[in-house]
Structure 1
């Protein structure tokens, strides 16, 4: 794809998200979602390979179905209440349909099966866009309609997603599929807190975006598509090896690192609302996710490749780690001391 066309597609992608995030009318929100979907289809299928074409088709069908459901729910609400305002969704059946549509749009379990397949069929850079930027528009709709979405449905989607994201990720060897299930698990945490505290959900989303961008940047820089590929990261850059290890542990939610902050606040809020069994299940599901993050950490930083390399240190040819990667990695690891500032 030529740089001009790629620039047009990326700008259309950004425009679609911004239209959705800034609109209060359901038709404008739907137009933004459709523009967003249509812009990313050529980006997914840039490889001109059957896998990427299949991924683009799956993505288009699921997103188009979810957008149609969102439009249908808003039409039912407008029919019954006479308003197209996003914040005035007061008709229960349309709210239920909207929650299901947004779950399909984001890839929340049990409507998650398209996400790992789409990521596996696209490049690492495209997978980064799908797991980060593409979550902004649906999450903004969830934030705007948080007061009206059925809490039981959101809590159920949250617990199923966090358990599925942890459990299904254990069996994967491809880094893109692992990141897909990681995304499902993190979105489950966000869904579970939405109806209780939307502000914590937004904070969780921002931290998730920072950590996922940092890890994907590391994978792109080291060209690691499988777990076996991560074993040669140490030959590329010692700095990259250490930062990747810390970002992985942060994604797992270990206490001294940034990733512990959203999990800590969400569990605290759930317990405050007398949802201790739900909080316990969420904490246990985080252990499942932590297992495959630790496995990636082990292969990245603590093992050597099983084969003998002819050229031992690749860092002689790539001496500099990209500044953007270092910036995101620093944020993904050292934000926990800012907790009081964030809460205030």
Structure 2
């Protein structure tokens, strides 16, 4: 079982690398398919995850069919509308985002983190080859609004992170039209924060398990990571958003305003969650997760960006 998991993980990463470094659309499509067929066995680790795997496969197959149709029709491969819609389906960007919060519910924490971070790299790299078009602005605006508004009344952790991912996709899609370096930097920091959340929450199914725990350090670490994911200064998540905002302001000031306002709404329900976690009376919980050195390390990484920001300003 461990050998097969290692094999599928290797082919998953290989498929992404093939797509990113592909010289043609056909080889890029092959990389996407290798990535998809490697991730499905990793998703199907339990009966509860079968439904999520089917939903994920169905939506990814639709996106792949559209891309293959465009490849087979040379006159349409330059059509940004169909290509961007296909990539938006694969990314889970709005208005094609409805499958993502539902598909992520039954996955394990490691697969959830992979789905929200690594699986975004290949479609996002292909999006950088498309020309700027009105449909791109529609995808960005819809993702910013849907990601911020969708998590307002959500208390389950995985769908909440899925809506957060949709909002972050608006930032990444905008950056893909301005700077590849900033896009890679933003996606790297986001990936670190997502896997940090996994390191804290991998033994829980609901936030109340941590908030009801007598271990105040665990809820504090979760709160800091959530706020960092929301981009609250001076935490790590603020650094990529600040860098991205400098790029986006040059590209489009109205788009920068939309992204900032949506992130403010995103940060509002993050602050609401952390306020509850820090003020709620702690009681002993029989299933409360424990804290160890493996948990502390990523927390330090995700919350210690103040020296980085200082260095960024000075140098």
| 1:169 matched to 2:151 | yes
Contact 1:96 1:150 in 2 (8 A): no
| 1:75 matched to 2:72 | yes
Specify the alignment match of 2:11 in structure 1.
Answer: 12
Offset from partner CA, 1:249-307 (integer Å, 9 cap, x none): 1111112112112222333333334x3332222211112111221233224333235xx
Offset from partner CA, 1:225-256 (integer Å, 9 cap, x none): 22322313452xx5433332211111111121
| 1:309 matched to 2:284 | yes
For the pair shown, which has the larger CA radius of gyration, 1 or 2?
A: 1
Structure 1 residues not aligned, in runs of 5+: 81-89
The alpha carbon displacement at 1:117 in A equals 0.7
Contact 2:105 2:158 in 1 (8 A): yes
Q: For 2:105, what is the secondary structure of its paired residue?
A: helix
| Structure-2 change in CA distance of 1:294 and 1:25 (3 Å) | same
User: TM-score, normalized by length of structure 1?
Assistant: 0.83
Contact 2:209 2:285 in 1 (8 A): no
Contact 1:159 1:192 in 2 (8 A): no
Aligned to 1:295, which of 256, 272, 275?
Answer: 272
The alpha carbon displacement at 1:129 in A equals 1.4
Contact 2:124 2:173 in 1 (8 A): no
The alpha carbon displacement at 1:164 in A equals 0.6
Contact 2:56 2:103 in 1 (8 A): yes
Offset from partner CA, 1:286-341 (integer Å, 9 cap, x none): 12111221233224333235xx5376x968xx56231xx43332232223543565
Contact 2:175 2:244 in 1 (8 A): yes
Offset from partner CA, 1:106-161 (integer Å, 9 cap, x none): 10000001111111121222211111221121122223x1xx33343222211211
| 1:218 matched to 2:188 | no
| 1:127 matched to 2:116 | no
Q: For 2:44, what is the secondary structure of its paired residue?
A: helix
CA distance, structure 2, for counterparts of residue 225 and residue 188 of structure 1:
28
Specify the alignment match of 2:305 in structure 1.
Answer: 335
Contact 1:243 1:329 in 2 (8 A): yes
Report 1:267-278 matches (<5 A). 267-273=245-251, 275-278=252-255
Report 1:8-47 matches (<5 A). 8-47=7-46
Offset from partner CA, 1:193-222 (integer Å, 9 cap, x none): 3212232222211111111111121111xx
Aligned to 1:136, which of 114, 121, 129?
Answer: 121
CA distance, structure 2, for counterparts of residue 157 and residue 17 of structure 1:
23
CA distance, structure 2, for counterparts of residue 230 and residue 151 of structure 1:
45
Contact 1:109 1:164 in 2 (8 A): yes
CA distance, structure 2, for counterparts of residue 110 and residue 342 of structure 1:
37
Q: For 1:58, what is the secondary structure of its paired residue?
A: helix
Contact 1:104 1:111 in 2 (8 A): yes
C-alpha RMSD of the superposition: 2.6
Contact 2:164 2:266 in 1 (8 A): yes
